[in-house]
Amino acid sequence: DFQNSARRERWETLISVKQLRRQPDVRHVEPNYRLHTALEPNDSAYDLQWHYPLIGLPAAWDVTIGDPGIVVAVIDTGILSDHPDLAGQLVAGYDFVRDPAADGDGIDPDPEDPGNRANPGNSRFHGTHVAGTVAARGNNRIGVSGVAWGARVMPLRALDDGGGSLSGEGFSQMNQALYRELRERGTIVVASAGNEATRAPAYPAAYDGVISVAAVDAQREIASYSNRGTSIDISAPGGDGSTDFNGDGYPDGILSTGGSADDGGVEFAYTFLNGTSM
């Protein structure tokens, strides 16, 4: 029973192939497969995103670019919400940084990243960079493309530019129970493995139920800074700014959305960063 003619034609083709293969005067038979062009975004700096072929892009985009119903919470330093490559890619987030000195107002529903308030020139806008890798708008002729630009990002500010208490702690039984509960409720938790070049488990990445991600360089070798060992679940490009293995004239860091800051304010930009976060 076929619900449409295309399926019937496919079935009839396969039957014909099998019948022809039985003929003694036929050397070889195979279907005449229909080919399709592979999706590549037209973003102006896409050619500098050398790391995407290492994770199966652009081939995976022929299957999906993500879905707006999928929300990725980026728990980091917050977001530059007006960055042009993140327009329309965000859902409401939250700021969990208690210290009012970090952004002037303490805990509130505003996850905007103020950068390094004490020394604006040292601002990294780490959360914006990670969010861009997740879902920077693709096919908009500017900047870069995110891995799943059809999905949406929820920026959750848990760190300021100087850091915070999000990772690096030892094992906590309460935290382990929390991550298991999240997994059981259908939330996939992913964490960077850490940049200390050690085999010792680093948390929260090493918790059971958390996907721990190490970093490789442009030659698919473990990055010199990346943690490693039995607690690692998977590796992905994290970059190495000290090399230009592919000869494109830029360091082999990971290019994504970012910003630059001085005493006059913040300018939106695209920056290369390295690390297991990337």
Can you tell me the mean pLDDT for 3-24? 84
How sure is the predictor about 11, in pLDDT bands with cuts at 50, 70 and 90? confident
Active site amino acids: 76, 126, 277
What pLDDT is stored for residue 1 in this prediction?
Answer: 55
Other residues' Cβ atoms within 10 Å of the Cβ of residue 219 = 11
Q: Is the pLDDT of residue 67 over 70?
A: yes
How sure is the predictor about 160, in pLDDT bands with cuts at 50, 70 and 90? confident
Cα–Cα–Cα angle for 266, 190, 130, nearest 5°? 15
Q: Is the pLDDT of residue 165 over 70?
A: no
Q: Is the pLDDT of residue 52 over 60?
A: yes
Please check whether residue 195 is in contact with residue 273, taking contact to mean a CB–CB distance below 8 angstroms.
Answer: no
Enumerate residues 6+ apart whose C-beta is below 8 A from 243: 217, 218, 251, 252
What pLDDT is stored for residue 37 in this prediction?
Answer: 58
What pLDDT is stored for residue 17 in this prediction?
Answer: 87
Enumerate residues 6+ apart whose C-beta is below 8 A from 134: 72, 74, 146, 147, 148, 151, 153
Burial readout 222-250 (b: 16 or more C-beta within 10 A, e: otherwise): bbebbbbeebbeebbbbbbeeeeeeeeee
Q: Is the pLDDT of residue 36 over 70?
A: no
% residues pLDDT > 70 (the chain): 94
Can you tell me the mean pLDDT for 84-113? 91
Q: Is the pLDDT of residue 186 over 60?
A: yes
What pLDDT is stored for residue 7 in this prediction?
Answer: 77
